[in-house]
Amino acid sequence: MKNFHHLILLIAGLSIMACDTNLDLQENPNAVTPDKTDINDLYNNIQLEFGSTYLNAEFAAGQMSRMYHMGSFTYESAVSPNTLNNLWFDAYADLFPDIALLNTLAEEKGLDIHAGSAKIMKAYVLMAMVDNMGDVPLFEIGQGTDIISPKSTPAAEIYANVDQLLTEAITLLEGTNSARPTIDNFYNGDPAKWATLAKTLQLRAAVTTRLINPSEAATTINALVAAGDLMDTEAEDFAVKLSANRNNPDSRHWMYRNHYETADGQYLSNYYMWMLRADKMDTNGFPIADPRIRYYFYRKVDDSNNQDPTVYSCHFSTLPTNPDGRPAHFDLVDERLPYCTAFPDGYYGRDHGNGTGTPPDGPIRTSFGLYPGGGQFDDNSFTDTRRSGTTGGKGEGIYPIMLASFVDFLRAEAAITIGTNDDARALLESGIRKSITKVKSFESKVQATLDRRLYIRSDEPLVRELFVPTEEDIDDYVNYVLAKYDAGNADEKLDVVMKEYYIALWGNGLEAYNMYRRTGKPANMAPTLEPAGGNFVRSFFLPSVHVNRNGNVSQKELTDLVFWDDGSAEVY
């Protein structure tokens, strides 16, 4: 839908070179004009652009929160002014101009669902831009040659504009009888579900800003909860749905493309895998594995600590089992934190901030699993996933933008921190169970794997009988977490809730980044591998494509706080 971009000249922050030319031209008969635009084609393209924009907003943020591996020794070397260039292009050159055009066409034709849902997508992206960078242009964009260097809008004003957009969307969507979009990847054109999402995003904004305005946030949250129209079922989940289509176009999940073709793929985060494998301990000191672990990660080997020495790049030692190599500053956080590998039984990734060279370890790197990327369920087959996209769920995954489980955890956070009317413990349990149910729903993509028989001595059990968590397994896990919650003080209760939120967020690095900056949780977050990892990235650089070409903008610092971050949370 690139042809639409000349209709509304918006290239935020890009300069336009002046030249002598004759502007007395005839109308181009081949140009696409608004009256020739098919609004459903435009709407479909907006959804595609939104998915791309989300992906570029969440990945770098996920590296900061240890959800994904950060492959540089220091924060300063991990990010640059180029890090969010693609996010900038997606939002300002693609998504926002198309939404502006769609709103114009939808208003003329009374297509409230098209317009309302587009406003919601714009509102989410605006929040994501602020959450990543702080002040960005808003009110001076879209002015063509009248304003070629738009000034940044204060981030707090952008959040206020987001609330206005969401309110406008709710008004358009509630009670409308307008025609549904031909293709709606999210809600099949259901205006009620879109309206529920808008109110849920208002909740998200209130929780995000609670540090600077706790009273107002609590009032907003209580009102939204009392109104009873927040996302609370899987059917209302807001997620980009990917397909198994490999070519023309390749519409598979990025996690699948990264690990299930022929390349080695990126390293998984040792800390994040360890969170699910060994952070929780029973009364005998044995680790309790999370019921979701076989869905999140696929192991290629059953022993990650005793491979050929040439495959390791532990940085401080040749082998992960060398106790002298373990960084002393890890123990200052948690003596149980993993070093070099996540856990001995095959979970092999890299530590936060390990920027050493790449050894021949492709055959043993743990891969992204079935959820959310549509990969393989870990059935103890321990095989290589690099099979040209022929295994597992074949990339039919999701980008989990806002799920019902997330809402429970956000509400629980607010109840603990600003005293809203909710029951944090009940929401903690509800959030865990919803997350596990969501993850298990992906089993339908790998039925053949789960129905495969294993031959163990004289027995022939199915994979599902051995490795799929039972209701009893789930109950045991939930009861363990609730007991931990009950035994803690207020800060410890918050840590329990945020850890479970962090685990449920797998695939959404932006919300994890926001959570970490708000709360400093999990409290045992892995430090950088080097003790001198530099200052944590409290917000990202403004993109170079903006700063270098806009005379009204200067570059910011990585330590700058976004407007809702008061700096009270200890992050590193």
Task: Give dist(CA 410, CA 451) in Å, integer.
Answer: 37
Q: Three-class SS of residue 137?
A: strand
What is the β-pairing status of strands 152-153 and 238-241? Answer: unpaired
Report whether pLDDT(318) > 80: yes
Question: What is the per-residue pLDDT for 534?
Answer: 98
CATH number of 2-17+32-241+541-547: 1.25.40.390
Helix segments in 136-253, DSSP class H? 155-173, 191-208, 214-227
Q: Which position has the higher pLDDT, 25 or 296?
A: 296
**Gap between the Cα atoms of 119 and 38, Å rounded:** 19
Q: Which of 472, 387, 377, 485 is nearest to 431 (CA)?
A: 485
Peptide bond into 372 cis (omega under 30): yes
**What's the topology of domain 254-519?**
Four Helix Bundle (Hemerythrin (Met), subunit A) (1.20.120)
For residue 357, pLDDT over 60 is answered with: yes
25 pLDDT tier (thresholds 50, 70, 90): very low
**In this model, does residue 18 exceed pLDDT 60?**
no
Tally the C-alpha atoms within 13 A of residue 340's C-alpha that lie toward its C-beta. Answer: 24
Consecutive H or E run containing 401: strand 398-402
Partner residues linked to 272 by β-bridges: none
Averaged confidence pLDDT in the chain: 94
User: Are residues 255 and 397 in contact, defined by beta-carbon separation less than 8 angstroms?
Assistant: yes
Mind listing the pLDDT tens digit for each residue in 373-412?
A: 999 999 999 999 999 999 999 999 999 999 999 999 999 9
Beta-bridge partners for 459: 456
Question: Most distant CA pair in the chain: distance in Å?
Answer: 87
Check whether 1 has a pLDDT greater than 60. Answer: no
Please state the rounded mean pLDDT for residues 327-349. Answer: 98
Nearest to 296 by CA among 370, 348, 350, 349: 370
Per-residue confidence (pLDDT) for residue 10, from 0 to 100: 34
Q: Percent of the chain beyond pLDDT 70?
A: 94
What mean pLDDT do residues 541-549 have?
96
Q: What is the 3-state secondary structure (H, E, C) of 95-116?
A: HHHHHHHHHHHHHHHCCHHHHH
Angle, CA of 275, 207 and 222, to the nearest 5°: 125
Q: What is the pLDDT of residue 219?
A: 98
**pLDDT tens for each residue of 187-222:** 999 999 999 999 999 999 999 999 999 999 999 999
d(CA 314, CA 344): 14
- Can you tell me the mean pLDDT for 268-284? 97
Question: How large is the average pLDDT for residues 124-147?
Answer: 93
List the chain domain ranges. 2-17+32-241+541-547, 254-519
Separate counts of helices (H) and strands (E) for the chain:
20, 6
What is the average pLDDT across 8-15?
Answer: 34
Query: How wide is the angle at C-alpha 69 spanned by C-alphas 66 and 74, nearest 5°?
Result: 85
Q: What CA–CA distance (Å, rounded) separates 42 from 61?
A: 29
Q: What is the mean pLDDT of residues 112-133?
A: 98
Residue 484 has pLDDT above 50, yes or no: yes
Residue 540 to residue 81: CA distance in whole angstroms: 8
| Residue bearing tokens 């039972």 | 470
**Is the entire prediction scored with pTM above 0.75?**
yes
Q: Is 136 helix (H, G, I), strand (E, B) or coil?
A: strand
pLDDT for res 28 = 46
Per residue in 243-260, pLDDT tens?
A: 999 999 999 999 999 999
Burial of 3 (0-12, 13-18, 19+ CB in 10 A): exposed
Does the pLDDT at position 12 exceed 70?
Answer: no
Confidence of residue 34 (pLDDT cuts 50, 70, 90): low
pLDDT at 458: 86
Residues 157-171: what's their mean pLDDT?
98
CA dihedral 500, 505, 506, 512 (to 10 degrees): -100
Checking if the pLDDT of 69 tops 90, the result is: yes
Given a cut of 70, is residue 358 above it in pLDDT?
yes
Sequence-ordered alpha helix ranges (H) in 209-281: 214-227, 254-259, 270-277
Higher pLDDT, 15 or 264: 264
Q: Grade residue 33 by pLDDT with cuts at 50, 70 and 90.
A: low
